[in-house]
Amino acid sequence: MKYIGLDVGNGSTCIYARYEDRTTDEVSIASTFGYYDGEPTAAIANKAKALSAEIYTLGGRQYVLGYADVAEVGTESIGTYSREDRIHLNAYQKLVKLALLKAATMNGDTGVIEIGLGFGVPNEDYRDEQLKEIAKWFAEPITGAKNGQQLIVTVKQLEFVSQPIAVLLDAYYDKNGIVRNADIENEDTLVIDSGSGTLDMTELRGFRILKQTSKAAGMNDVYKLVTEYIERREPKARVNPYDLEQQIRDQSTSKEMFYRYGRISVSIKDAYLKSVETVWDLMVNSIEREYPNRTRFHRVLLAGGTGEAFYSSFVNWMPQIEKSPDPQMAIARGLCKYVISLALANEVIEVPRVAEGEGTC
């Protein structure tokens, strides 16, 4: 059986998979999808040789997943940037199911596939009502196709884990689901999950969440500030946030940086650096306000895609901070490790949610 950790965030979706031969795959894509109406289902298997985009069929419609594939086929991006009540959004449910189809087939498998799934849930959504709603999505096999090849994905094992605890589990287990750092069970830890849309700060004692706070600050804010700059300079430019992110990433090592839209080209290097500085100041002030004395923690763990982008700033500001290996994948990797651990042993650590009224969000 395949074991999959799935973290569907505001800006990025991260997938970590482990197969029966103990090999692994991982991928991070933009949390967006689009409809694909270019070819009938029967023709996709032949066209797939020329089209690099993966075409998924779900509920009788065809889709592409992730901004690169959305851009390749020229369809409109559909995203779920907001975290508020997103579990009840049809677009979010569809995004999750498409991501699961991708996760189950990354090694080329098609047909009937059985998986053990660890699904990451923001701590504010980790409530019985919300979890029951998400569980409905996986209660029946997810049927569809990838590039014309039929898929029936059955979730044989489903585990929900609060995202900050998943970061801790990544440090607790090795890649085979074996405990490698038992000291965590008795330590005070601060997990800083710096994602696309939010900066989540979680205080834990062992695996018990004592307090959590969230601040709306992340790379999405950087892109928003840069977008405002572009639109002031060139009102005719239509800025797609996913396209802007991709263009910035493609030019991250260049001396100059431009946003291009048709024949329009806007220099954005200075605006980007200034925006990064503005958002960094916002993040630091938020952490210092909540945790002025960070030396009381045995460890401070940094995770999230924005954490990677701001890592040098984090280290200069707090030298003792520990960056998770490939921070953007920390949650998905921890989820997968936890599901593997359950398959290996009858007794595993308890993964509780924050008690009602204990945390703040």
Q: CA dist 200 to 162, 169, 183, 197, 324, Å?
A: 12, 17, 23, 10, 15
In a domain, 250, yes or no: no
State the Cα–Cα distance between residues 43 and 259, nearest whole angstrom.
36
> pLDDT (tens digit, 9 = 90+) per residue, 274-326?
999 999 999 999 999 999 999 999 999 999 988 888 888 999 999 989 998 88
| Residue 49 placed within a domain | yes
Task: Give the separation between CA 118 and CA 352, rounded to whole angstroms.
Answer: 15
Strand pairing category for 56-58 and 142-146: antiparallel
Closest CA to 244 of 222, 211, 273, 218: 222
Residue 50 lies in a domain: yes
354 within domain boundaries: no
Residues 253 and 247: their CA atoms lie apart, in Å, by 12
pLDDT of residue 348 exceeding 60: no
The CA dihedral of 63, 65, 66, 71, to the nearest 10 degrees, is -30
Is the pLDDT assigned to residue 45 strictly greater than 80?
no
Question: What is the DSSP code string of 185-231?
Answer: GG-EEEEEEE-SS-EEEEEEETTEEEEEEEES-SHHHHHHHHHHHHH
Joined tokens for residue 47:
């066209």
Judge whether 90 lies within some domain.
yes
CATH number at residue 91: 3.30.420.40
- pLDDT at position 40 is 45
Q: Which domain holds residue 97?
A: 2-172
The answer to whether residue 209 sits within a structural domain is no
Q: Convert the pLDDT of each residue in 224-260 to its tens digit.
A: 999 999 999 999 998 988 889 889 989 988 999 999 9
* Total structural domains within the chain: 1
Please give the structure tokens belonging to residue 131.
């979890």
pLDDT at 88: 66
With CA atoms as reference, report the closest residue to 191 among 250, 123, 138, 248: 123
Position with higher pLDDT, 269 vs 9: 269
pLDDT tens digits along 176-199 = 999 999 999 999 999 999 988 889
Q: Whole-model pTM?
A: 0.87
Residue 124 has pLDDT above 80, yes or no: no
- Is the CB of residue 330 less than 8 Å from the CB of residue 10? no
Burial of residue 218 (CB within 10 Å: 0-12, 13-18, 19+) is buried
The answer to the question of residue 256 being in a domain is: no
Pick from 119, 175, 153: which is nearest to 1 by CA?
153
Q: Is residue 62 part of a domain?
A: yes
